[in-house]
Amino acid sequence: MLLPELVTGSDRSALRFPGAELTYRELARLTGHLAGRLRGRNRVAVWATPTLETCVAVVGALVAGVPVVPLNPRIGERELAHILADSAPEVVLSAPDVELPGPLAELPRLPVLATPADTPPPSAPAEPDGETPAFIVYTSGTTGPPKGVVLPRRALATNLDALAEAWAWTADDVLVHGLPLFHVHGLILGVVGPLRRGCSLRHLGRFSTEAAGAELARDATMLFGVPTMYHRLAADCAADPALAAAVARARLLVSGSAALPATDHARIAELTGQRVVERYGMTETLMNCSVRADGDRRPGAVGPPLPGVDLRLVDDSGAPLGTGNARGDGETVGEIEVRGPNLFLGYLNRPDATAEAMRGGWFRTGDMAVRDPDGYVRIVGRRATDLIKSGGYKIGAGEIENALLEHPAVAEAAVTGEPDEDLGERIVAWVVPAGAPPDAAELTDHVARLLAPHKRPRVVRFRESLPRNEMGKVLKRALDG
């Protein structure tokens, strides 16, 4: 059973957002009613605002066994049209007072309430099989529009249990975070995770170091965040001893979705005595590695593979490095491949892309790493330069280039990622204008409107031409500031 705590239905706090809270009993009642209305649907879209309603919608669908397509509430028109056409949800779930954009507003809508009804819900349907899809999460590739990653229930259950084992995560913990609820990190680890453990989640609605500090000062024991959040936490702890004292109280600070710079790890350790635990995952595989709560929390390492996850490094020809591969030499770089119950079922409607991502049952992550003699994995880079990680979001250069080329003032465009202290990488657009150069902000807004605000370039550089090879392909490495 994916969420056993809903059967027990205790009076412990399950979910708290600013101004709204539900106990497990109330959550069970609300989601039981919703599941009754959802039963038999093929797929539901959830307008995934950082609210209690989003959690109720998602859990209701999980109880009903109906796969959820979480949508970024700031999604742009081009990306929304693609996801709706690709995933064909039958119905959309959102809080009742939300205005939905055109194509979504045309779908039948089930309003989700955060006020428990008095009446008992209909009897729960049988627990769906572990291979039943739980989520379809959209993630960017190097080219083209995002692909729908189909995640089965067994991947969630096994992966969350492996994390619980590694982190000694129990019902006594109180988790705090301010992550978005339309990606694996915030939604699966950050909402389904605590509900599977029977522990309490305090969601900040919107991340700020101050709000995170206030929860840690009260009673939160664990914090989840992307490296950008820890970078901001380090800076603010340096200026605010009370914040540093609050962070010092935590049982576990966990960072993931991108590499945590060693400097931020060291600054937090110095200011708070806390060594951040890093874990490494992907939408397609959920979590692959993590430093254990009782393990050596050294900077720059994502720890050993989680229980149940097979991990190997392969060379350019696909041959595994070393023997047995549980230990490494700490030097030889290879691509990470993983296998185990944590893997997705495939990309929705894209058997070609699914086949390309697999090699004999192993998933090819595209991440380059070395393995230390004690089995720890250190990620050193990525195979594709056209994938950018900014603020922990994965963004494909191709989708931004296509959006830029749709603007009438753009003749040619190339997109790259540049190191950024706060975001890890920032998106840079290199543009050959079709006439007089447009305002940079106009291009930025154009991308935000078509795709999503987090995919907007942070820097626009105008050029008279782009460096290209004889085949006409842009030489991105030859672009410089």
**Residue 274 site contact among ligand MLC, ligand AMP, none (CB < 5 to 8 Å, cut-off depends on kind):** none
Q: Contact region for ligand AMP (CB under 6 A) — 3-11, 100-108, 277-285, 443-451?
A: 277-285
Interaction between residue 231 and ligand AMP (CB under 6 A): no
Q: Which whole-number Å values give the CA distances from 247 to 252, 270, 464, in the listed order?
A: 10, 12, 50
Total binding residues for ligand MLC by CB under 6 A? 25
- Residue from 445, 462, 468, 475 binding ligand MLC (CB under 6 A): 445
- At residue 310, the 3 state secondary structure works out as strand
Indicate the residue type of 149: V
Q: 377: closest CA among 261, 298, 268?
A: 298
Instruction: For CA atoms 21, 25, 27, 30, give the dihedral sign.
Output: negative
Instruction: For CA atoms 455, 62, 365, 189, give the dihedral sign.
Output: positive
242: tokens are 């009370």
- Residue from 151, 157, 191, 226 binding ligand MLC (CB under 6 A): 226
The position carrying tokens 């807004």 is 445
- If one counts every other C-beta atom within 10 angstroms of the C-beta of residue 214, the result is 17
Interaction between residue 258 and ligand AMP (CB under 6 A): yes
Q: Which residue, 110 or 345, is less far from ligand MLC as judged by CB?
A: 345
Give the C-alpha separation, 213 to 17, whole Å. Answer: 15
Give the C-alpha separation, 430 to 428, whole Å. Answer: 7
Residues within window 366-405 making contact with ligand MLC, judged by CB under 6 A = 391-393
Interaction between residue 247 and ligand AMP (CB under 6 A): no
DSSP 127-159: PPPTTSEEEEEEE--SSSS-EEEEEEHHHHHHH
- Residue from 50, 76, 281, 304 binding ligand AMP (CB under 6 A): 281
Judge residue 275's burial from the number of C-beta atoms within 10 Å of its C-beta, 0-12 exposed, 13-18 middle, 19 or more buried: middle
- At residue 263, the 3 state secondary structure works out as helix
- Residue from 207, 344, 363, 430 binding ligand MLC (CB under 6 A): 207
> Where is 378: in which H helix or E strand?
strand 377-382
Q: Which residue, 113 or 448, is less far from ligand MLC as judged by CB?
A: 448
- Residue from 379, 388, 397, 466 binding ligand AMP (CB under 6 A): 379
Give least dist CB 30 to ligand AMP, A: 29
Alpha-carbon dihedral of residues 142, 147, 150, 156, nearest 10 degrees? 50
Q: Contact region for ligand MLC (CB under 6 A) — 16-24, 44-52, 295-303, 448-456?
A: 448-456
Give the C-alpha separation, 247 to 433, whole Å. Answer: 48
Q: Which residue, 167 or 280, is less far from ligand AMP as judged by CB?
A: 280
**Residue 229 site contact among ligand AMP, ligand MLC, none (CB < 5 to 8 Å, cut-off depends on kind):** ligand MLC
- Residue from 72, 87, 94, 139 binding ligand AMP (CB under 6 A): 139
Specify whether the CB–CB gap between 77 and 144 falls below 8 A.
no
206: tokens are 């919107």
- Residue from 35, 250, 282, 450 binding ligand AMP (CB under 6 A): 282
Long-range contacts of 321-324 (CB under 8 A, 24+ apart): 321/371, 322/371
472: tokens are 């006409």
**Residue 445 site contact among ligand AMP, ligand MLC, none (CB < 5 to 8 Å, cut-off depends on kind):** ligand MLC
**Residue 453 site contact among ligand MLC, ligand AMP, none (CB < 5 to 8 Å, cut-off depends on kind):** ligand MLC
- At residue 250, the 3 state secondary structure works out as coil
Q: Contact region for ligand MLC (CB under 6 A) — 41-49, 102-110, 181-189, 460-468?
A: 181-189
Interaction between residue 227 and ligand MLC (CB under 6 A): no
- Residue from 37, 74, 275, 298 binding ligand MLC (CB under 6 A): 74
- Residue from 281, 303, 334, 340 binding ligand MLC (CB under 6 A): 281
Interaction between residue 187 and ligand MLC (CB under 6 A): no
Interaction between residue 54 and ligand AMP (CB under 6 A): no
Give the C-alpha separation, 396 to 455, whole Å. Answer: 9
Q: Which residue, 31 or 283, is less far from ligand AMP as judged by CB?
A: 283
Interaction between residue 72 and ligand AMP (CB under 6 A): no
**Residue 454 site contact among ligand MLC, ligand AMP, none (CB < 5 to 8 Å, cut-off depends on kind):** ligand MLC
Give least dist CB 459 to ligand MLC, A: 13
Give least dist CB 96 to ligand MLC, A: 21
Q: How many CA atoms lie within 13 A of 433 on its CB side?
A: 12
**Where on the chain is the footprint of ligand AMP (CB under 6 A)?**
139, 184, 256-259, 278, 280-283, 302, 365, 367, 379, 382, 389, 394
